Structure 1
Amino acid sequence: MSRPVLAIDPGREKCGIAVLAADGTVIEQEILPTQYFVAMIGGLLREYEPTVIMGNGTTSAAAKARVEELGYEVTLVDEYRTTDAAKSAYWEAHPPRGWRRFVPRGMLVPPVPVDDFAAVILAERFLREQ
């Protein structure tokens, strides 16, 4: 049986984190402050013993090095257009209400960061390629 996937969408201020089962089921997803994310993912690494992947964009080299210092191999994956896909996923999970439901979703801006949804997208892409 395959291992779960821990996906990290690194950024300067915050990182999106998602843990997906091998079948693509989202187990956990959250947004963590970048300065604390390595300390905060320690429990996830111990609990799930996942395959660790990370988007190859903003600050990925530094974030990858920090995770590898914990003794985990990190696979970089292409994060092309994950933010757009994450916005769509946000609106699927939280459909617009009121007048916003009449605005095309592509024109709406989510009221919260979507880095956690971007991490889910990265993990889903990785699992599809496996």
Structure 2
Amino acid sequence: METIAALDPGRDKCGFAVLDTEGSVLFQKVLETKKLEQEVRNAQKQYGFTRLIEGNGTTSKEAQARLTRAMPELIIKVVDEYRTTDMARKAYWQAKPPKGWRRLLPLGLQVPPEPVDDFVAVILATRYIKEYYHE
């Protein structure tokens, strides 16, 4: 079974995930942008992906250029990030339900207490897998 990586690039931090083509999340992490190439290379060694799906956000071109220089064999496909942050917040709360006083507030009024960029990466990969592997 093939694996696919996904990246939600950002100025200071990036969301990163690796999924198999059935949509199972094998790895997800928020990583420091300054360690982008090292982190992606380490994950590639562990999970063996040859394709990376990247969101088209603000720093997308810079991240793509850095990864292409460091890993020319990696196939990078840039995709639309539309509404992924909102979707990632919902996914975050499903994965990590609120505890304590947070349970009393509607989720729509809350901001997750930690970055959700890794959930965005999972969403980007999931969209790609649905479109190209499960038509």
- Aligned-pair CA distance for 1:106: 1.4
- Aligned-pair CA distance for 1:79: 0.5
- Aligned-pair CA distance for 1:105: 1.0
Corresponding residue for residue 17 of structure 2: 18
What is the count of residue pairs matched by the alignment?
A: 129
Distance 1:94 1:47 in 2: 26
Question: Gaps (5+ residues) in structure 1?
Answer: none
The CA RMSD measured in Å over matched residues stands at: 1.1
- Greater Cα offset, 27-36 or 42-51: 42-51
- Aligned-pair CA distance for 1:37: 1.1
Corresponding residue for residue 66 of structure 1: 66
The one-letter amino acid of 1:54's match is E
Corresponding residue for residue 100 of structure 2: 98
- Aligned-pair CA distance for 1:95: 0.6
- Aligned-pair CA distance for 1:41: 1.2
Distance 1:98 1:49 in 2: 40
Corresponding residue for residue 128 of structure 2: 126
Partner secondary structure for residue 96 of structure 1: coil
Corresponding residue for residue 44 of structure 1: 43
TM-score in terms of structure 2 length: 0.91
- Aligned-pair CA distance for 1:6: 0.2
Question: Gaps (5+ residues) in structure 2?
Answer: none
Instruction: Tell me if 1:84 matches 2:86.
Output: yes
Identical pairs, percent: 50
- Aligned-pair CA distance for 1:128: 0.8
Distance 2:41 2:130 in 1: 26
- Aligned-pair CA distance for 1:111: 0.4
Partner secondary structure for residue 36 of structure 1: helix
Runs of 4+ with >6 A deviation:
none
The one-letter amino acid of 2:62's match is A
